[in-house]
Amino acid sequence: MSTNPGSACVHRPAELRLHRWNDRAVVGAAIAAFAAGFGQFGVVAALGDVARGFGQASTGASLVAQAGVSGTGLGIGLGIMRLASLGALPVIGLADRLGRRRMLLATVGAGLALTALAAVSPTYWWFVAIFACGRPLLAATNGLAQVTAAEQTASADRAKAVALIAAGYGTGAGAIAILHSLAASTLGFRGVFALALVPLALLPLLWRWIEEPDRFTVAASGPEHPVPVFDAVARPFRRRLAVIVVLGFAVSVITGPANSFVFLFAQNYLRLPGIVTAAMVAGAGIAGLAGLLAGRWLADRVGRRLTGALAMAAVALLAIWTYSGPAPALVAGYILGVFAAAVFAPAAGALVNELFPTSVRASVAGWSLAAGVLGAVAGLIIFGVVAGAGHRFALAGLVTFVPPALVMVLFWLLPETRGREPEDLWPAR
């Protein structure tokens, strides 16, 4: 299969063995995404305990007094862990050469093992370093799960399959957040990270369920084998990839700090009881499920572009509301923000995977993830510095979230992919 699709032999979906969105092969990928969410989100859920465990919290009014570590230190630490996810770019790219199944199993197993190892960190910066080693592997797991699900399905099931992957990741993240909220005094942050061993035990099940997509098998049997990562920026794909990268960067400038500081804000600043935080997470889980269903429906009815653009704007506005101050705004803003982000996921995930051929699809996912990492790091540092200067979370939200929301207009530089197969949408010579 040529990297220049204009001269390639196109294999139609009728010639491929495809699955429904709820078949075992897709569910296996969703379980891998669950494991990735469970492992990655622990640092967000337990951020307050991590800060207190390694710092010296007090009863003062400043952020450093209440958290135990300065806002800048927290922002830099989270930024390092996010930045480490750039390592997922070459890892995901290897799936264009070695296969989706092999890389997916390798990344989820090694990523969870390293996350559990972070439980024995002796200092805050050791914790940052160890967790950062596992972060790119778990980030690659989530990206590869989406690619695998998208390639296993036809157009009628693709947005549903992507929504299932997002639901798996969100369920994993929500599970670790609820466990921490209800059992923080018993587990401590070290116990939270040791729990990564639990989804690691699912690896034998994933070995049996996850399959190599026929789309990749066909591509791998062709005479040409693109260079992982770099051929994704070849001339036929360059313009679309540039738009995807900018959108991924902008979205993550919003979601990075919006998700990463919320539990610190709730537990260390607003002093919400653990039961309230757990109820908030549970409510967000329900809202997330509703958002995925709505996002899947909208993506298949009104289109990927309009759904993605409107949801992106909503995520920014609700993130600003979340950090506006009082506890009711935090709870309502967080729950509705999760709903909006869930609406965004099926449309954006299907769009990215439909715009490019199989030969470079995993590499494109890696570039999109890398852009998201850089956006999240930028957002975390900006938000952390502004919030740390007089603990003004509301101002930090305005400064960080408004500018990237305007980038939503770039969705209209991409073709609408609703109701079409990836084989129909490759750029011509």
> What type of residue is 210?
I
Run of H or E residues at 199: helix 197-200
Q: Residue 281 in 3-state DSSP?
A: helix
- Backbone Cα Rg of the chain: 21
**8 A C-beta contact, residue 36 and residue 171:** no
Residues 6+ apart with CB under 8 A from 47: 74, 78, 260, 261, 263, 264
Cα gap 282→139, rounded to integer Å: 24
Cα gap 24→402, rounded to integer Å: 41
**8 A C-beta contact, residue 363 and residue 229:** yes
Cα gap 366→345, rounded to integer Å: 16
- The CA-based dihedral angle spanning residues 142, 144, 146, 151, taken in that order and rounded to the nearest 10 degrees: -170
Cα gap 336→199, rounded to integer Å: 28
Question: What string of pLDDT tens digits covers the 429 residues of the chain?
Answer: 333 443 444 455 557 788 999 899 999 999 999 999 988 876 665 556 666 666 544 444 444 444 445 555 666 776 677 788 889 999 999 999 899 999 999 999 999 999 888 888 777 777 888 888 888 999 999 999 999 999 999 988 999 999 999 999 988 888 887 777 776 667 777 887 888 898 999 999 999 999 999 999 888 887 777 788 888 888 888 899 999 999 999 999 999 888 777 877 776 677 777 778 778 878 888 998 999 999 999 999 999 999 999 999 999 999 999 888 788 888 889 999 999 999 999 999 999 999 998 888 999 999 999 999 899 888 888 888 887 766 678 888 888 899 999 999 999 999 999 888 887 776 543
Q: Model pTM? A: 0.81
pLDDT at 9: 42
Q: Is 385 exposed, middle or buried (0-12, 13-18, 19+ CB in 10 A)?
A: middle
**8 A C-beta contact, residue 158 and residue 150:** yes
Copy the structure tokens of residue 262.
Answer: 């919320």
E strand segments, 298-365: none
**8 A C-beta contact, residue 423 and residue 12:** yes
Please count the CA atoms within 13 angstroms of the CA of 30 that sit on its side-chain side: 19
Cα gap 199→109, rounded to integer Å: 9
Alpha helices in 11-83 (DSSP H): 24-40, 42-45, 47-54, 63-67, 71-83
pLDDT at 14: 57
> What type of residue is 205?
L
Cα gap 246→229, rounded to integer Å: 17
Cα gap 154→197, rounded to integer Å: 34
Cα 19 from chain centre = 24
